[in-house]
Amino acid sequence: MTQDTPLDIAHASMEAEDSDAARLRFYDRLAESELFLLLDGEAQGDTVDPRVFDTEDGRFVLAFDREHRLTDFTGDIAPYAALSGRALAGLLAAEGLGLGLNLGVAPSSILIPPDAMAWLATTLADGPGEVEARPVEVAPPGGVPEALVLSLDTKLATAQGLARFAYLATARYEDGAEGHILAFIDPVPGAEPALSRAAHEALIFSGVEAGEMDVGFFRASDPMAAHLARVALRFDIPEAPASEGPSAPGMDPDAPPRLR
């Protein structure tokens, strides 16, 4: 029996709950997933030519979250490109295309219209703001919704190798302002924007309305890290997997392929 994938599980939850929170979790999982986009021909460098289907509801491309599911759909070996869901969302939004996900071959079979893919691309493109401030005191993270904790736990599991771990705490600043802070410990140089984006998306896709959360970066040798260790909620971040060579076209969201 084939094991359900994370997208299968998120889709089943969305169908069962029929809530905004469940829908947000599904789209978050879609953005983080590796997808296999069905092509009309082999990719040429960083240019791909997806197979496009015209329907009464718009134009759609097909993608699958497992290679064998693509083969199950086509009945034979077919050309494809491996892309992250976030990269695919940006490509489809730019072209006004919708997404047929796992159509007819998995429990997560769903037709996602062009306007929904455009919403996802816009949501992912909205980044956090930046301010220069350092906490003068930290305390346990009181009043944090469980949905945000779960969203952070899921999102930070995808930040493999970008930092050692993260702390969630309440922070007070020199001007008297207070709020929650997610503090990353020993971030890899240059990973700060990606970590900030991950924290921002965890907040958005948690479904917590009007929520705010600061993001900070500290070395383990910083005295603030010791204070955080005593009072904060810790999230472990997995180590980076061993390199398997060059990534496939589209797996780098900062350098997605072009549509032909």
Asked if residues 85 and 35 have their Cβ atoms less than 8 Å apart, the reply is yes
Cα distance between the two ends of the chain: 38
Q: How confident is the model at residue 88 (pLDDT cuts 50, 70, 90)?
A: very high
* Mean pLDDT taken over the chain: 88
CB atoms within 10 A of CB 113: 15
Instruction: For the full predicted model, state whether its pTM sits above 0.85.
Output: no
Q: Quickly state the pLDDT bin for 48 (edges 50, 70, 90).
A: confident
Distance CA 218, CA 181 (A): 12
CATH of domain 137-236: 3.30.70
Q: Which two tokens stand for residue 229?
A: 């260790």
Q: What are phi and psi of 209, to 5 degrees?
A: -75, 140
**92-106, 185-199, 203-217, range with the lowest pLDDT:** 203-217
Rounded CA gap, 7 and 108, in Å? 6
* Residues 142, 81: Cα–Cα separation, whole Å: 45
- Classify domain 6-126 at the CATH class level: alpha beta
Tell me phi and psi for residue 226, to 5 degrees: -70, -40
CA triple 9-14-17, angle to 5 deg: 115
* pLDDT tier for residue 77 given thresholds of 50, 70 and 90: confident
Domain ranges of the chain: 6-126, 137-236
The CA distance from 174 to 158, in Å, is 33
- In the numeric block, the tokens 């600043």 are attached to 173
Per-residue pLDDT tens digits for 93-111: 999 999 999 999 999 999 9
Which distant-in-sequence residues (6+ apart) come within 8 Å of 210 by Cβ? none
Strand partners, 11: none
Residue 72 has pLDDT above 90, yes or no: yes
What DSSP character marks residue 135? Answer: -
**What are the tens digits of pLDDT across the range 216-250?**
999 999 999 999 999 999 999 999 876 554 444 45
Distance CA 107, CA 12 (A): 8
Q: Which residue has the tokens 């997933």?
A: 33
In angstroms, the CA 8 to CA 232 distance is 33
Give the rounded distance of the alpha carbon of 1 from its chain centre: 28
Which residues are bridge partners to 216 per DSSP?
A: 183
Which residue pairs from 8-11 have beta carbons closer than 8 angstroms and sit at least 24 positions apart in sequence? 8/106, 8/107, 8/108, 10/108, 11/107, 11/108, 11/110
